[in-house]
Structure 1
């Protein structure tokens, strides 16, 4: 074989390898393109499956759902003021713009993504919109709204909730990761806020000094922040979070009576000393924390918090209280002895 023939053979092999490589590259690109198209098709299918068929609220359904005939504002005519359309797979409530006298509205268990037509109902007192497909609870300011419930939706923020007479707000089981936009100057009557089952990692942003009851169980809270802005709070639920210390409580929380910390990660019994600045604390839940497994758990908590009346579900007995007092006094004497201070000197200093 001549050198030329060898070169031609080599070139042909090289060209063949290049063509094979190009074919493999094309196959890979086609496969990637096919995968992308398949992913897009799957996404479209998911969106189509998620998008319920149009099912607007109709006059026929309204006729079945209205009740409670009352006088209107002028006192000269009557109108139905209660609407209950729960569990009807409704997707559109635009018709409600014409029913301005409604006061009690229940649209629970439907397929609503938009409740803006409710802004026309300026006399509304109670709204239940649980178990829908809402991503926001924002409504124009409703002057008389007292109770609003949006649990089990897809709401991811707390913006646009500034109704001056709102007393109870339920946002349980949504996708809220941070609280913002709650205006204390407008929500002056809000006494109960429920945010269980969301994605909160901190208590920051809840700046409502008139709030009395705050429910934050089943979140991912690790830090207690902004507590000094909750001076009117009497009940705080933090069950089933990821709290491992009790930093963050504030002296301003002089009204706080009940704290539920069940199911967290507190492992040091000395953390209870950080609750001494809560003068009215009477009931505390710490079960399902590592400290609850320690010997003399109940007694040690009472020694730290001697005004406590109930731990978990059980009230303290007189015997437990007496024992806690004795141990506390014994430890105090030991500390004084270690410091070289006599009881007489202590009395003199107190005098």
Structure 2
């Protein structure tokens, strides 16, 4: 009887621990810490890296705020919901929290949040709303594969240069605020239908639209991006050959250096120039024919009158 009772108690204890989740502490935390280096303030030495990937962690204890000298954190592939304990680490440079269960990131909206953070990867979480981010030095933000349908309320950090929204259900950029800092925008495999708002991002050099079913006329919007040099685009015509597709892109965007990961060649530029000239000649001929038709019609009406 006692043995059975102990077994049941052990089972209850195990179930309770499972329900409570897995905290990043004890041996798990000790194994995750590494890279002892001189502290940023020069006062001594401390752990500067925390790596705990795919360990089933659900909870970050508040005690992690005491590890103030951490600079690099990778907690990807867990089941974490709340990043608040990491939000005030004064020297953190990179934070990879991809593949968790995070829904709310308002902990990064406070003025004192992560003043030196350079890279934030929150891909493959459950984020549906992106709030104002107060991360003053954040340059790279990845929000891929989150259920984001709008950027309403998003106020980007002042130093942001790379924004990735791959694989989100985002259909429009209408709520994206203007930016003079963003140089790379990744929107591949989204249901994007129009690119009008890109005109408010004049510094864009790299644009990823692979797998986006854009209407053909939308490529003309990209002409308004004077610094655009690299694009990834997918043809909506399954029968169009890659060579012809690249030529069509270069006809509209002759300043490009890279298309779909391959450098633009001098031969491609020549072919695109010839295509552009042929199209211009065809348009002139059509315009002249239309003018001639209108003149004949006008002359006929005058004669009849």
* 118, 138, 161: which one aligns with 1:166: 138
Shift of 1:66: 1.1
Match of 2:202 in 1: 231
* 173, 179, 203: which one aligns with 2:173: 203
Match of 1:331 in 2: 282
Match of 1:112 in 2: 80
The RMSD of aligned alpha carbons is 3.1
Q: Structure 1 residue 190 and structure 2 residue 157: aligned?
A: no
Shift of 1:335: 5.0
Deviation track 1:14-36 (CA, whole Å, cap 9, x = no partner) reads xxxxxxxxxxxxxxxxxxxxxxx
Runs of 5+ unmatched residues, structure 2: 1-14, 293-305
Q: Give the TM-score normalised by structure 1.
A: 0.66
Structure 1 distance, partners of 2:72, 2:42, is 19
Match of 2:22 in 1: 55
Structure 1 distance, partners of 2:248, 2:33, is 58
Q: Structure 1 residue 214 and structure 2 residue 182: aligned?
A: no
Structure 2 distance, partners of 1:58, 1:194, is 32
Shift of 1:228: 2.2
SS at match of 1:81: strand
* 137, 142, 148: which one aligns with 2:105: 137
Residues 164 and 240 from structure 1, CA distance in 2 versus in 1: closer, same or farther, beyond 3 angstroms?
A: same
Residues 298 and 226 from structure 1, CA distance in 2 versus in 1: closer, same or farther, beyond 3 angstroms?
A: closer
Match of 1:254 in 2: 226
Residues 311 and 288 from structure 1, CA distance in 2 versus in 1: closer, same or farther, beyond 3 angstroms?
A: farther
Residues 178 and 305 from structure 1, CA distance in 2 versus in 1: closer, same or farther, beyond 3 angstroms?
A: closer
Deviation track 1:157-180 (CA, whole Å, cap 9, x = no partner) reads 111422010011011111111113
Alignment of 1:253-292 (within 5 A): 253-262=225-234, 287-289=235-237, 292=240
Deviation track 1:229-280 (CA, whole Å, cap 9, x = no partner) reads 1011111112223322434827652212233331xxxxxxxxxxxxxxxxxx
Residues 293 and 64 from structure 1, CA distance in 2 versus in 1: closer, same or farther, beyond 3 angstroms?
A: closer
Shift of 1:53: 4.9
Structure 2 distance, partners of 1:72, 1:299, is 54
Structure 2 distance, partners of 1:99, 1:295, is 54
Structure 2 distance, partners of 1:257, 1:55, is 46
Contact 1:103 1:123 in 2 (8 A): yes
SS at match of 1:120: coil
Alignment of 1:271-350 (within 5 A): 287-289=235-237, 292=240, 303-305=251-253, 313=262, 315=265, 316-317=267-268, 320-321=271-272, 323-324=274-275, 327-328=278-279, 330-331=281-282, 334=285, 338=289, 339=291
Runs of 5+ unmatched residues, structure 1: 1-47, 263-286, 341-351
SS at match of 2:196: coil
Which has the higher relative contact order, 1 or 2, with Cα contacts under 8 A spaced 6 or more apart?
2
Contact 2:230 2:259 in 1 (8 A): no
**Which has the higher Rg, Structure 1 or Structure 2?**
1
* 43, 47, 53: which one aligns with 1:86: 53
Contact 2:97 2:122 in 1 (8 A): yes
Residues 309 and 197 from structure 1, CA distance in 2 versus in 1: closer, same or farther, beyond 3 angstroms?
A: closer
